[in-house]
Amino acid sequence: MASTSRSPTKSPVKPKSTRSDINSSTASIAAKAKALKKANSPTKVTSQAEEFARCELCKHTLDNPKSLSCMHSYCRNCLVTYYTETKQSDNSGIFCPICLQLTKTTSDTKSPEEAVDKLQTNEFLRSYLEALRLKDPDKSCDTCRRQNRKTVAAEWCKMCHDALCDNCVGFHNALKSTKQHSLVQLAKLRKEDIADIISSPLCTVHEGENVTKYCDNHKEVLCEKCVAGSHKTCKGVLTLKEAVSRNKPQIDITNSTLHEETNLATSIYENRTKADKSVDDDQNDVLTKIKDVRKKINENLTKCETQIIQELHTMHNKEKETIRGETKEAQRIRKSSGNLHGLVESTEKYGTDSHVLQNLPDNTTQSQYYKEKLGSLNSRIKNTKINFAVDSNLENLMKGISRLGELRVMSSSARLPTSKTLMTARSDSDPEDELDIMGSRRTLKSDTKSIKSMKSVHSSTMYANLKDVFSASSPSDKETCWFTGIVCTPNGQTILVDRNNNKLKILSKDLKLVSETVLESQPFGITIISDSELAVTIPRENRIDIFKIGASLILSKSIMISDRGYGISFAGDRFAVACSCASPPSIKIIDINGKEKQEIRPDDTFIPMLFRPWYVKLNSTGGLMYVTDCHRSHVTCISGMTMKQFVYKDNSMNSPRGIYVTKDGRVIVCGFGSDNVQILDKDGNLISEVLNRIDDVMGPQDIALTVPEDKMMITFDPSSGKSDKIHVYDIKL
């Protein structure tokens, strides 16, 4: 293993972290991250880079990686952005996007930037990524880059960790402070293996000192000054080679266990995916049996048929919900353990002994954690089968029978075979709670009593009948789809915003994928400007992109805004943009040229009314604005851009997201947390609940109606397990 010495890398200048400057700090995060990546590394993970070297937030090679306590690493700037968006009110810490484990932050941190900067950096990852960049034949001179010049580097300084062009080499050798530094030609260095380029970590206590020893008592790597100082009384000080030899059994056990955990998580995920399909097949078989029986009886048994089918759907949805939850949990563990497994294997393969020992305690802890989670999951999963038994008296007691038969879920353990290593895992731990990326928790209960009582008050209800369910994923998608925005154009096309895959997708009138436009950054909201134009928000770039609509979408203009914009709506000559992460959260009114006209922050007796406004919708004239607040579970109507008209809040509506305003002024809203779709009248009174879980609506994200308003389309959050699907309904308003 390599043992090249290394001096500390200079830390980047931190953004201001005061409360008054948090807007400008977070607004520049994405731009800085993008510029830094273009200057220092390839934008995508190269074939040399392993999965562990990719940031799961931006899907690019890690840049200035910061590690959470679960050993998962992310780009520093990406983690700042993510923490800003998901920060809890109690500042409890950062939830890992992969495994959802909490990394606690210190109470004295004043901003997300400061909290992230205090996180540890995995020294092996930093050295590994540096070695990758040096392998790049187009590697730029670091000294010139800092002066906004671009020249190709020729040599590398082992002491400064800078790549230098020929001119900078001359200056470097001429300076008194650097003339003794050792330089290596990059052409020669690129022929060496990664393991020969990676530098050993330096002592975290004594600056510039190489790590040479290991304290078996304290489980720490040490320099010679540490040995002579704080560890001089320790009896277990070993050389790195001796320590690796002594800990080799534990290293091998951890590596092997992580490998088995990843395989088991994959097996459970595949098993649950098949079970998901199987329970659908069971439902189809049962429905066929029910219909065959129904043909033999008279019309007086219609009530019994309706009852049994309703029970079937309820039972089916319950089983589907359980299986999908287990599927997501298995996928999360598979991704988490696999990521860490790759890190452990590569650390042992490419890193130094100190890297291996440095990560061993945390790796072992995480391996034990996955062991427990997999044991719990594996003991809970069951293979279920929905069956239907026809009542034996049905044909003889035509009118006297009260039921068509009995529905049964026959369960048997689906626990998959495991190795002896994983058999010791605890099986009584609770499944971990799901946390939405936006910070809103899904609920599994809702008060439907208020819905039923309200239906009789209003005679005007909306009828919705499911017409079609289709998948809008494409072969080029690398991630599970998440359609955060949907609009229908006057010419009958449907346009989707796929946030996870950085795409805009155009569907034809018959809902076939016509074209897709790949964007550099994640989009979120979408709105129609005219028959030939639409606008899309790019939150992390603080930008609105305007596209020409045709057979494909062509970018015609970009508008920069002062905060991250999510939901967006256009009417008249202006945009309304929901700025959820602004301080305080607000709705910005922006004209077509990008000039900010107004910032709306309604309050109620000096208390802000908007906590997390994700979606906004203007009526056709632009005189009324409707805002959904995911955290407060409010739907707020504002008129004249300033005056509050009404606030709708009901126990039956939780974490509202997508919203649509009909031509006659009624409001249709998606209840993400309550798994329903409701319709309100012009004054904010509940008319009726249009769809709910009985209609297979779980985690609705956004909603759109065709221009004639005779069809409705709904997209879903990834927590539903069907975020690549679009539901289409025939409606009657």
Same structural domain, 417 and 313: yes
The structural domain count of the chain equals 3
* Angle formed at CA 265 by CA 260 and CA 270, multiple of 5 degrees: 125
Q: Determine, yes or no, domain membership for 98.
A: yes
Same structural domain, 26 and 98: yes
Are 436 and 717 contacting, i.e. CB atoms less than 8 angstroms apart? yes
* pLDDT confidence of residue 44: 42
Q: Which two tokens stand for residue 666?
A: 């009624």
Q: Which two tokens stand for residue 573?
A: 């000559």
Domain-terminating residue out of 423, 453, 475: 423
Are 238 and 247 contacting, i.e. CB atoms less than 8 angstroms apart? no
Same structural domain, 357 and 413: yes
Same structural domain, 503 and 374: no
Are 380 and 327 contacting, i.e. CB atoms less than 8 angstroms apart? no
Judged by DSSP in three states, 275 sits in helix
Taking CA atoms, 451 is separated from 162, 632, 678, in Å, by 66, 19, 9
Domain at 29, CATH number: 3.30.40.10
H or E, element range at 525: none
Q: Determine, yes or no, domain membership for 286.
A: yes
Q: Which two tokens stand for residue 82?
A: 């993510």
- Token pair 């930093």 is found at 126
Q: Determine, yes or no, domain membership for 647.
A: yes
Using the Cα atoms of residue 25, residue 31, residue 32 and residue 33 in order, give the sign of their dihedral.
positive
Same structural domain, 390 and 516: no
501 contact partners, CB below 8 Å, separation of at least 6: 477, 478, 479, 481
Using the Cα atoms of residue 19, residue 20, residue 23 and residue 24 in order, give the sign of their dihedral.
negative
598 contact partners, CB below 8 Å, separation of at least 6: 588, 589, 641
Same structural domain, 63 and 131: yes
* pLDDT confidence of residue 474: 93
* pLDDT confidence of residue 48: 40
Using the Cα atoms of residue 246, residue 249, residue 250 and residue 256 in order, give the sign of their dihedral.
positive
Taking CA atoms, 716 is separated from 257, 496, 512, 544, 578, in Å, by 36, 12, 19, 23, 20
Phi-psi domain of 453 (left: phi exceeds 0; alpha: psi -120 through 50; beta: other): alpha
Same structural domain, 416 and 522: no
Q: Determine, yes or no, domain membership for 431.
A: no
Same structural domain, 406 and 489: no
Q: Determine, yes or no, domain membership for 580.
A: yes
Same structural domain, 410 and 500: no
Q: What is the mean pLDDT of each run of 10 residues along the chain (733 residues)?
A: 37 36 37 44 44 84 87 90 78 83 80 86 80 83 88 83 88 83 83 74 78 88 89 88 88 87 87 87 86 67 79 89 89 90 90 89 90 87 84 59 64 69 47 37 38 39 86 92 95 95 94 93 95 94 94 93 94 92 86 89 66 91 90 85 77 93 94 93 91 90 94 92 92 87
CA atoms lying within 13 Å on the CB side of residue 579: 27
Same structural domain, 126 and 246: no
In whole angstroms, what separates CA 435 from the centre of its chain?
10
Q: Determine, yes or no, domain membership for 227.
A: no
pTM: 0.45
Q: Determine, yes or no, domain membership for 651.
A: yes
DSSP 180-230: TS-EEEHHHHTTS-HHHHPBPPBPSSSTTPBP-EEETTTTEEE-HHHHHTT
* pLDDT confidence of residue 493: 94
Are 648 and 623 contacting, i.e. CB atoms less than 8 angstroms apart? no
Same structural domain, 416 and 501: no
Same structural domain, 405 and 499: no
* Angle formed at CA 387 by CA 386 and CA 391, multiple of 5 degrees: 145
Round to the nearest angstrom and report the end-to-end CA distance of the chain: 71
Using the Cα atoms of residue 725, residue 311, residue 287 and residue 271 in order, give the sign of their dihedral.
positive
Q: Rg of the Cα trace of the chain? A: 29
Rounded to 10 degrees, the C-alpha dihedral 337/342/344/349 comes to 160
* pLDDT confidence of residue 294: 66
Taking CA atoms, 211 is separated from 6, 158, 354, in Å, by 10, 16, 7
- Provide the domain limits for residue 671: 483-691
Q: Determine, yes or no, domain membership for 563.
A: yes
Pairing relationship of beta strands 463-471 and 543-549 according to DSSP bridges? unpaired
